[in-house]
Amino acid sequence: MPRRLTLPEPSQGGRGRIDKLLASVYEDVSRATIQRWLSEGRVSIGGRVCGPRELVAGGVVVEVEEGAPPPSEAAPDASVPFEVVFEDEHLLVVDKPAGVVVHPARGHVTGTLVNGLIARGSVTAELLGEEPASPVRPGIVHRIDKDTSGLLVVAKSAKVREGLKQQLARHSMERQYHALTLGVPPLGRVESLHGRHPQARLRFSSAVREGKRAVTHVLEASALAGGEVALVRCRLETGRTHQLRVHLSERLHTPLLADALYGLGRAPRSPAVAQIAARLGRQALHAATLGFLHPVTGEALRFEAPWPRDLSEALAALRALTPR
């Protein structure tokens, strides 16, 4: 049975996009779901089906045939390793180990964090399949690379996910990373455009003519192994794919230790550092700190994840090479 609703007045007056006006009525339903209802022809005015981006005036009565979310394409997998740092009825914060992909994608259909969350029962049916472009990311708010370890927040409802995504868009979510770099980067703010590399499609680049704005803050850098390596702390202002790896490599010329994709062909000078990098076998990057306001309670939450064993062993070995 369709639901009859009266649309509110647009905030700027005049006419507003129907998906945005509906989102203000359906506070517990994500914009993605509303757009899917529109694309499926479930929203009408006077018997006429509305377009996904149609402009309408406030006070118009619409009929909405609310659709159930499609089933997720992600299968449960209880073998996926991850640690739950915090959990309540609205969200959870996990510490993802290196080697685990966040959500299913080409080449990684199973064994991802999402598969593990579904097996654990941490993702509700409300969220399964709610991403219209890819029904395999239920609850995922942000991502870190497969071979990066550290903290992620996962939503348990559409309302919570949208609230967390708004904090990401406002750059108010705190995300600090610890890293080991080849060379000592200068401290300060790095800003660039960010987009696909024009020749290497697996990579991203700051040397593009068109792209999204990317901002990284390098907060601390301590020299190790005679300055060949540095222990670095960075803060993300924006969160583009591979952003830290690109900025450290292309803009600061200090790529992550053992980063095969963005290492610029740069090998460690000393055999001892080269051995440490080979033993590590993955980019030396860890999402160490995550802070945000709880979208439901308003409480300020902040979490820190200790270094995993592989990075701790690499750091100890590098410190042993550092002159006193």
Cite the active site residues. Answer: 145
Residue 160 has which token pair? 């919570």
Contact in structure between 115 and 75 (CB atoms under 8 Å):
yes
Question: Is 139 in contact with 130 (CB distance < 8 Å)?
Answer: no
SS (H, E, C) the chain: CCEEEECCCCCCCCEEEHHHHHHHHCCCCCHHHHHHHHHCCCEEECCEECCCCCEEECCCEEEECCCCCCCCCCCCCCCCCCEEEEECCCEEEEEECCCCCCCCECCECCCCHHHHHHHHCCCCCCCCCCCCCCCCCCCECCCCCCCCEEEEEEECCHHHHHHHHHHHHCCCCEEEEEEEEECCCCCEEEEEEEEECCCCCCCEECCCCCCEEEEEEEEEEEEEHHHCEEEEEEEECCCCCCHHHHHHHHHCCCCECCCCCCCCCCCCCCHHHHHHHHHHCCCCEEEEEEEEECCCCCCEEEEECCCCHHHHHHHHHHHHCCCC
- 260: tokens are 């095969």
Residue 310's identity, in one-letter code, is: D
